[in-house]
Amino acid sequence: MNIIKVFFVIAAILSGVMAVFQFLLSLGLPFGKLAWGGESARLSNKLRISSLISSLIMIFAMVILLEKADLLSIIGNDTVITISMWIFVAIFGLSTLGNIASKSKLEKTIMTPIAAYLVIAFLLAIIR
């Protein structure tokens, strides 16, 4: 496996970990200091729904990356994959900025590098 594929696999694993994390938040586990501004350990019902949606988005991001690395074939449409990748660049770019602006030191320290890595991974995947 070449270094670019390894980079994409790491990004896919991070996406999967983030999907699990967001799903756990949606169940009400007290990890809220790491997400959504870090204002409370347990999320409100509205943010729990947002976390559930985020977990599904992260699963889709993982699929897109694995497909781009030629390790999975579910979508099979290059146009859909490329458009999705640009959307994820925007999502993770905004996420990086939000994490940087967060009042939560935990969110800044842990989530900012993850979101930034994902922006870089999707950009690399697009130009690959």
- Per-residue pLDDT of 81-98, as tens digits, reads 999 999 999 999 999 999
* Cα angle: 78, vertex 22, 41; to 5 degrees: 155
Q: Cβ distance 26 to 72 under 8 Å?
A: no
pLDDT band at 16 (very low <50, low <70, confident <90, very high): very high
| Token duo for residue 9 | 């696999």
The domain tally of the chain equals: 1
> Given this model, what pLDDT does residue 76 score?
87
- Structural domain of residue 113, as residue ranges? 3-127
